[in-house]
A and B are shown apart, each in its own frame.
Chain A
Amino acid sequence: MALVEAIGVRKSFGHTEVLKGIDLEVERGEVVCLLGPSGAGKSTFLRCVNHLETIDAGRIWVDGVPVGFRAAGGKLYELRERDAAHQRRDVGMVFQRFNLFPHRTALENIMEGPVQVLGRGRAEVRAEALALLERVGLAEKASAYPGQLSGGQQQRVAIARALAMKPKLMLFDEPTSALDPELVGEVLDVMTSLARDGMTMIVVTHEIGFARSVADRVVFLVDGAVVESGTPSDVLDNPQQPRTQQFLAKVL
């Protein structure tokens, strides 16, 4: 069974339908890149997978559990926010604007989830958090506050913060879009090594190069619907749909 299964996902904001029936499966260990013009609903779909947005129709399962609902007696019960929070423990998310906690150091940001949410011991969590900082190349920045770090460094800490929860799935919402061009590489390197280690990832990105070299599958969204989907070489080098061709002609 796929780790993520989305069937007929619909979402409207007011009278605007942003997602018009998205079907998507992501296998364990698979890296899927969502591409498409802005306003296509890529980020909204990603936020639905984590139940930061509530879907209007359709279903999303993560690891066999319906996101935002509890299945019992042939019915789906909408979850209270407390229980939805419990589901999110298994899904890490990295935001465009990093969203580190500015009043805590890099190390404290990473420790916050395991200590406050999972209730684990500080000493043990601290050792793991230091190892994670090492992994994203920021061992010497443990006691720095987010305001003292560059955008690229902040985003790497944010990735470490998400990894500290030992998630089954990582969601990346345009992780390099808010970065200065020379800082994009360091974040993509961390994401590439994460993909090599077998992490299941859904990545909304405009970095075609990253999609080409790291993604197992590329999904192209336009106006809230999947237009084309396949391996990077199929979709990026040999697009079948005119809408995909137009988009790629502009960004490549």
Chain B
Amino acid sequence: MASDTAVNDVREELVVVPLRHPWRWFSGALILLVIAGLGWSMSEAQIQWEHVPGFFTHPVMLEGLLNTIVLALAAQGGAIVLGVVVALMRLSANPVARWFAVGYIWLFRGLPVLLQILIWFNLALVFQEISIPMLFSVPTNVVMTAFVAALLGLGLNESAYMAEIVRAGLSSVDEGQTEAAKSIGMTPLTTLRRVVLPQAMRVIIPPTGNNFINMIKGTSMASVIAFLELIHAANNISSRNLEIMETLFAAAAWYLVMVSVASIGQHYLERAYGPR
């Protein structure tokens, strides 16, 4: 038929022209140009690049790195435990426990971390000793080292955030799950451990990973009370040789290494608790 032939002709004659994206080429080139410019400025900068690797593995820097890791892990670990406890209090049937949890979160989330660290560090100014009557008593300035003050400041602040994250996680689990667990005779504790928490983890892990990355960087605030973490270590080194930027860059590299490792860990944790 004539019309069929016409269509076939049309198909053979027409060449398909893909949609062109000139702006993609242009913007891509622009970005590369900016990167090249930045790279060139860095090479022109008055920095002794060859000194940076030495500072990266400097013994003082490594000591600061170790202290940073220990502080971040201890503060985050303590915050997770406290956060679970406060979240359970927040969801408890006991009104006093609920009020306490609300107040706790309000207080420790409401104050700047730096302020909290400074308050703990200077506690000896107002309390000569820490004691529970008839049980024990110790001088405050012996207990409240820079590490302990930083641990309390960072950990308690983080625990308030963790409490909210854990509460959101627990609340996200369907009530039917608890009822099913009850119906096969599970006690409340077993229900929490075997049924509710594993499912809540899916909601809890991603924000906890973000918070841990913030925690790693937040340890830098302990430098103001002379705790030897990475930044204080960098300052210690540069106060002797005045290569301030070189030591700071070395510290920056360590932060990026730590955050990268934490991100990878978070990825695998999320996968382990991911949806089936």
CB within 8 Å of B: which residues of A?
A: 50, 52, 81-82, 85-86, 88-89, 91-93, 95, 97, 99-103, 112-113, 116-118, 145-148, 158, 161-162, 164-165
Closest to B202 in A: A103
Residues of chain B contacted by A102 (CB below 8 angstroms) = 199, 275-276
Contact of A50 among B174, B183, B186, B188 (CB under 8 A): B183
Closest to A101 in B: B195
Q: Are B180 and A99 in contact (CB under 8 A)?
A: yes
Q: Flag whether B110 is at the interface (Cβ < 8 A).
A: no
Residues of chain B contacted by A103 (CB below 8 angstroms) = 198-199, 273, 276
Residues of chain B contacted by A88 (CB below 8 angstroms) = 182-185
Q: Are B276 and A145 in contact (CB under 8 A)?
A: yes
Residues of chain B contacted by A117 (CB below 8 angstroms) = 184-186, 190
Q: Are A95 and B179 in contact (CB under 8 A)?
A: yes
B265 to chain A, nearest CB (A): 21
Contact of B180 among A85, A100, A145, A148 (CB under 8 A): A100
| Max chain A Cβ within 10 angstroms of own Cβ: one of B176, B182, B183 | B183
Residues of chain A contacted by B181 (CB below 8 angstroms) = 101
Residues of chain B contacted by A50 (CB below 8 angstroms) = 182-183
Q: Are B194 and A116 in contact (CB under 8 A)?
A: yes
Q: Are A82 and B188 in contact (CB under 8 A)?
A: yes
Residues of chain A contacted by B177 (CB below 8 angstroms) = 99, 101
Q: Flag whether B187 is at the interface (Cβ < 8 A).
A: yes
Closest to A50 in B: B183
Contact of B187 among A82, A91, A97, A145 (CB under 8 A): A82
Q: Are A85 and B182 in contact (CB under 8 A)?
A: yes
Known: A95-B180, A101-B180, A102-B276. A85 touches B187 (CB 8 A): yes
B226 to chain A, nearest CB (A): 47
Q: What is the interface size of chain B, counting residues whose CB is below 8 A from a CB of the partner?
A: 21
Closest to A144 in B: B276
The 8 closest A-B pairs by CB, nearest first: A89-B185, A113-B184, A99-B180, A93-B183, A145-B276, A99-B176, A117-B185, A85-B187
B198 to chain A, nearest CB (A): 5
Q: Are B276 and A52 in contact (CB under 8 A)?
A: no
Contact of B186 among A52, A85, A91, A97 (CB under 8 A): A85
Contact of B184 among A81, A146, A165 (CB under 8 A): A165
A28 to chain B, nearest CB (A): 21
Known: A101-B195, A116-B194. A147 touches B183 (CB 8 A): no
A68 to chain B, nearest CB (A): 12
| Max chain A Cβ within 10 angstroms of own Cβ: one of B187, B190, B199 | B187
B147 to chain A, nearest CB (A): 38
CB within 8 Å of A: which residues of B?
A: 174, 176-177, 179-188, 190, 194-195, 198-199, 273, 275-276
Q: Are A116 and B199 in contact (CB under 8 A)?
A: no
Q: How many Å lie between the Cα of A162 and that of B180 in the bound state?
A: 9
B188 to chain A, nearest CB (A): 5
| Max chain B Cβ within 10 angstroms of own Cβ: one of A52, A102, A113 | A102
Q: How many Å lie between the Cα of A165 and that of B185 in the bound state?
A: 9
Contact of A116 among B179, B186, B198, B275 (CB under 8 A): B186
Q: How many Å lie between the Cα of A116 and that of B183 in the bound state?
A: 13
Residues of chain A contacted by B188 (CB below 8 angstroms) = 81-82, 85
Closest to B198 in A: A103
Closest to A94 in B: B183
Closest to A161 in B: B184
A42 to chain B, nearest CB (A): 16
Residues of chain B contacted by A112 (CB below 8 angstroms) = 184, 194
Q: Are B275 and A147 in contact (CB under 8 A)?
A: yes
Closest to A88 in B: B185
Residues of chain A contacted by B195 (CB below 8 angstroms) = 101
Closest to A105 in B: B276
Closest to A145 in B: B276
What are 26 of the A-B contact pairs (CB < 8 Å)? Answer: A50-B183, A52-B182, A52-B183, A81-B188, A82-B188, A85-B187, A86-B185, A88-B184, A88-B185, A93-B183, A99-B179, A100-B180, A101-B177, A101-B195, A101-B199, A102-B199, A103-B199, A103-B273, A112-B184, A113-B184, A117-B185, A146-B276, A147-B276, A162-B183, A164-B184, A165-B184
Residues of chain A contacted by B199 (CB below 8 angstroms) = 101-103
Q: Are A97 and B184 in contact (CB under 8 A)?
A: no
| Max chain B Cβ within 10 angstroms of own Cβ: one of A88, A147, A158 | A88
Q: A85-B186, A93-B183 are in contact. List 9 more A-B contacts (CB 8 A).
A: A52-B183, A85-B187, A86-B185, A88-B185, A99-B180, A103-B199, A158-B180, A162-B183, A164-B184
Known: A52-B183, A116-B190. A95 touches B198 (CB 8 A): no
Contact of B183 among A92, A97, A145 (CB under 8 A): A92
